[in-house]
């Protein structure tokens, strides 16, 4: 027998006088056949046993669940990394340029449509475009001003009426207009509140006058619009905030109370638009901004008369808007729908709940509404929601009214009640103004939010477009990854 490939245990064979090399893998039978000594046989057996033990340990290690899990996880991480790198490369190669090009194309189209719309409006009004005016050296104030400034004037050049300005949203809005340089005419039933507001406006360097008026009396409302034109020569923006409320079940509401809410909150809004429109037409453009409510889209339990009036306001504005569009008149009608706002409105409301009512949470500060009103005064806006919570609620109502019913069953009743007792005969402003609440904020400062991300996006169209572009890019990336 010749030498094995890897010989070990070389011993001298006493019988043959030759050297025998025992291979690593030799079997005990082979050793017996080769007349191996007992020691060599034992060593080979032990070595074989050790090798088998190592083999068994290696197999057990591979079959260990933890090791299998780690190997699978490592393989998965490696695979995900490969997919991510591939998707990134594909995004940079295909999707990113396409999305960027799409956004630029959309911007270009929007700009083109705006330009064509401006020319169309000018044609309907018998005006020439800015370029034609330059060629013909026309210098009429209206045409050149519109071409230079756009469909609505900057706030600093406006004369603004704020109706319902003695407290709450109206008071904050009037102050904000004055801070930005607008000439402001304020109106409400409460003369004390109007006088203090004029002082506040003058304190911040603004210019304001006031007129006491009740929105249910058209002659009084018309007098406010006429005052703006007489004192400042024109009217550019009409903001209608005046409203009252009643917290009671429908069956607790008397016919007289229901009728009163409709007269103030709906007929009063119609009076405002009727009084403002002749002056806006004379100026050739302008903004009608009316405050309805999230309850114009989804009624809450208790203020059924209030919700009915706000539904009516939205219907009124929708009809009026289309009529003006049909005429080609650049008077823009905006419906502002606030969420629950921290104002004295809830201190002044009539209640039959036995406690003072409160806005359904989450609650926002009045400035959240004022900022969207000022935005609409410069940028034509159809509908705008003040407060992200209101936007979510309206979306839920569209998705599933039945689900909203259940949600309001659960939290709509308790969410509008404080623990502060208030008898039914407590003073309220349903028929007459009451003193002591001529301020902006209500009693819920600690619960009210001063900012709304939804508002910020609504008033920053460029950021909104960028966010939509990013969302489109994410969808494209997910589709590429899936592919």
Distance CA 346, CA 441 (A): 11
Return the structure tokens found at 421. 């007792």
Count of beta carbons in the 10 Å neighbourhood of residue 82: 10
- The CB-side HSE value for 235 (13 A sphere, CA atoms) comes to 29
Distance CA 423, CA 353 (A): 8
E runs forming strands in 215-349? 237-240, 246-247, 286-291, 331-338, 340-341
Q: Which residues are catalytic?
A: 306
Residues 6+ apart with CB under 8 A from 67: 61
Kindly tell me the sign of the dihedral angle through the C-alpha atoms of 79, 83, 86, 88: negative
Scanning the structure block, which residue is given the tokens 């709450």?
168
SS3 percent helix, strand, coil of the chain, rounded to 5, is 60, 15, 25
Distance CA 103, CA 82 (A): 30
Q: In the chain, what is the straight-line distance between the N-terminal and C-terminal CA atoms, in Å?
A: 65
Count of beta carbons in the 10 Å neighbourhood of residue 14: 8
Kindly tell me the sign of the dihedral angle through the C-alpha atoms of 123, 128, 129, 135: positive
Cross-strand bridge partners of residue 7: 23
Distance CA 218, CA 388 (A): 35
- For β-strands 355-357 and 417-421, DSSP reports them as antiparallel
Measured CA to CA in angstroms, residue 452 lies from 131, 365, 443, 448, 456 at distances of 41, 10, 20, 11, 6
Residue 91 backbone phi and psi in degrees, to 5: -60, -50
DSSP 299-324: PPSSBHHHHHHHHHHHHHHHHHHHHH
- Residue 9, SS3 per DSSP: strand
């Amino acid at each position: 027998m010749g030498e094995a490939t890897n010989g070990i245990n070389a011993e001298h064979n006493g019988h043959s006088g030759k050297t025998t090399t025992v291979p690593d893998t030799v079997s005990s039978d082979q050793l017996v056949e080769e007349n191996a000594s007992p020691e060599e046989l034992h060593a080979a057996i032990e070595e074989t046993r050790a090798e088998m033990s190592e083999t068994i340990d290696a197999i057990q290690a591979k079959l260990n669940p933890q090791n299998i899990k780690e190997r699978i996880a490592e393989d998965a991480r490696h695979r995900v990394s490969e997919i991510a790198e591939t998707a990134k490369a594909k995004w940079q190669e295909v999707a990113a340029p396409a999305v960027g090009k799409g956004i630029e194309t959309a911007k270009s189209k929007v700009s083109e449509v705006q330009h064509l719309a401006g020319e169309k409006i000018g044609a309907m009004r018998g005006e020439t475009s800015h370029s034609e005016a330059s060629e013909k050296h026309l210098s009429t104030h209206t045409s050149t001003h519109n071409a230079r400034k756009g469909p609505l004037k900057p706030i600093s050049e406006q004369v603004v009426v704020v109706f319902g300005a003695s407290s709450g949203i109206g008071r904050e809005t009037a102050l904000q207009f004055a801070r930005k340089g607008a000439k402001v005419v304020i109106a409400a039933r409460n003369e004390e509140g109007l006088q203090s507001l004029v002082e506040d406006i003058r304190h911040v360097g603004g210019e304001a006058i006031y007129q006491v008026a009740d929105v249910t009396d058209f002659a009084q409302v018309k007098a406010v619009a006429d005052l703006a034109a007489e004192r400042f020569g024109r009217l550019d923006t009409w903001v209608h905030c005046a409203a009252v409320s009643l917290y009671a079940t429908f069956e607790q509401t008397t016919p007289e109370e229901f009728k009163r809410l409709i007269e103030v909150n709906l007929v009063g809004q119609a009076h405002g638009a009727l009084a403002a429109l002749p002056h806006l037409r004379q100026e050739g453009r302008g903004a009608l901004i009316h405050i309805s409510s999230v309850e114009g889209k989804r009624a809450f339990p208790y203020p059924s008369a209030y919700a009915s009036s706000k539904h009516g306001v939205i219907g009124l504005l929708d009809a009026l808007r289309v009529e003006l569009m049909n005429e080609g008149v650049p008077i823009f009608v905006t419906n502002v729908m606030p969420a629950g706002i921290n104002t004295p409105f809830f201190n002044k409301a009539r209640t039959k709940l036995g406690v003072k009512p409160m806005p359904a949470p989450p609650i926002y500060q009045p400035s959240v509404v004022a900022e969207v009103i000022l935005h609409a005064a410069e940028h034509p806006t159809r509908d705008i929601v003040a407060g992200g919570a209101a936007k979510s609620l309206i979306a839920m109502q569209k998705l599933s009214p039945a689900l909203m019913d259940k949600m309001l069953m659960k939290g709509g009743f308790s969410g509008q009640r404080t623990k502060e007792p208030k008898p039914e005969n407590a003073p309220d402003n349903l028929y007459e103004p009451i003193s002591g609440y001529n301020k902006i904020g209500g009693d819920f400062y600690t619960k009210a939010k001063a900012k709304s991300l939804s508002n910020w996006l609504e008033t920053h169209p460029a950021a909104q477009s960028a966010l939509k572009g990013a969302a489109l890019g994410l969808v494209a990336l997910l589709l590429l990854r899936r592919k």
